[in-house]
């Protein structure tokens, strides 16, 4: 499935869960509780995991280098950083010997290409500062220990948040437009790290998936012009989506990786 099909699948599953207050054979008190259950299950986010994995394969990464394997949710590789150890959502491990280093602080961890993946379809405005601080800190945690490590981040956000209060009545409703321009600027500020001697808080590549789930088929925004045309950011906005979309996400990460570790490091 491509990114548009994934977004449609996410909307279909999310909306059905809220409207029926049911998930995985269980019935909940209301749509909000059912929504929490589907989020805890990782079913929604795992769709994006598979999208990223397949994008790497399409860019020439051998499937056996990808963890968890295609269509699997484990094993996740744990990397010990400066402050803490954390399981990584999707990793590329060029050498099988690196797998056994999971959870250690071996310098060989710098050769693990890691991508973490998140989504926030409701309560975005309320939680964005905390979520952003966490995203910021996780890159720093690894780059302080492994300055040459290549890190990617994929974040799915809606143009209009799902309304949690409506979910209590098993209804699908949306809040007013999110602060899209602010979110773009925030994620650009931690994007495109190229100098391994500084900017440890940045990612080598960030992908911000901005989608309008009010549409029958969610609309994915891939340029600031599209956002301006639909009135989602100001006409005089200086924000840019350059190098922040899903286009070339995997390819950009692989390119940086090969620059650091050799052209034959992933093949």
Residue range 76-85: average pLDDT? 94
Q: Tell me how far apart the alpha carbons of residues 7 and 210 are, in angstroms, rounded to a whole number.
A: 10
Q: What is the mean pLDDT of residues 115-128?
A: 91
Q: How much is the average pLDDT of 92-108?
A: 70
What's the pLDDT band for 94 if we cut at 50, 70, 90? confident
The pLDDT mean for the chain works out to: 94
pLDDT-derived band at 125 (thresholds 50, 70, 90) equals confident
Residue 265's pLDDT band, with cuts at 50, 70 and 90, is confident
Q: What is the pLDDT of residues 164-214, one digit of tens each?
A: 999 999 999 999 998 999 999 999 999 999 999 999 999 999 999 999 999
User: What's the pLDDT band for 108 if we cut at 50, 70, 90?
Assistant: confident
- Spatial separation of the C-alpha atoms in residues 26 and 34, rounded to whole Å: 9
pLDDT of amino acid 162: 97
Average pLDDT over residues 46-63: 97
* Residue 127, pLDDT score: 86
CA separation for the pair 48, 211 (Å, rounded): 13
**DSSP count for the chain of H helices, then E strands:** 8, 12
At residue 101, the pLDDT reads 56
User: What six digits make up the tokens of 170?
Assistant: 């098993």
Dump pLDDT digits (tens) for 232-251. 999 999 999 999 999 999 99
For residue 254, how far is the Cα from the chain centroid? 17
Long-range Cβ contacts of 188-194 (<8 Å, 24+ apart):
188/239, 188/240, 188/244, 190/135, 190/136, 190/139, 190/153, 191/243, 191/244, 192/243, 193/139, 193/143, 193/151, 194/256
Buried b (16+ CB within 10 A) or exposed e, 66-103: bbbeeeeeeebbebbbeeeebebbbbbbbeeebeebbe
Cis peptide before 75 (omega within 30 of 0): yes
Q: Percent helix, strand, coil in the chain (nearest 5)?
A: 40, 20, 40
């Amino acid at each position: 499935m491509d990114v548009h099909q994934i977004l449609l699948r996410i909307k279909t599953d999310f909306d059905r869960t809220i409207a029926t207050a049911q998930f995985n054979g269980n019935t909940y008190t209301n749509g909000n509780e059912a929504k929490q259950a589907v989020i805890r299950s990782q079913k929604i986010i795992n769709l994006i995991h598979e999208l990223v994995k397949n994008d790497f394969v399409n860019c020439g990464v051998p499937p056996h280098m990808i963890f968890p394997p295609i269509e699997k949710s484990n094993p996740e590789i744990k990397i010990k950083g400066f402050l803490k150890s954390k399981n990584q959502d999707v990793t590329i491990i060029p050498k099988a010997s690196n797998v056994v280093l999971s959870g250690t602080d071996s310098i060989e961890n710098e050769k693990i290409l890691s991508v973490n993946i998140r989504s926030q379809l409701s309560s975005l405005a309320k939680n964005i500062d905390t979520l952003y601080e966490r995203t910021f800190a996780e890159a720093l945690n690894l780059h302080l220990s492994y300055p040459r490590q290549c890190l990617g981040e994929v974040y799915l956000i809606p143009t209009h948040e799902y309304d949690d209060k409506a979910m209590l009545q098993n209804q699908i409703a949306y809040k007013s437009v999110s602060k899209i321009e602010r979110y773009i600027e925030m994620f650009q500020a931690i994007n495109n790290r190229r100098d391994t001697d500084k900017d440890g808080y940045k990612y080598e590549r960030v992908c911000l998936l901005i989608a309008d789930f009010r549409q029958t088929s969610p609309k994915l925004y891939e340029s600031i012009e599209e956002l301006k045309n639909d009135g989602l950011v100001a006409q005089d906005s200086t924000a840019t989506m350059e190098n922040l979309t899903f286009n070339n996400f995997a390819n950009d990460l692989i390119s940086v990786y090969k620059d650091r570790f050799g052209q034959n490091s992933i093949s």
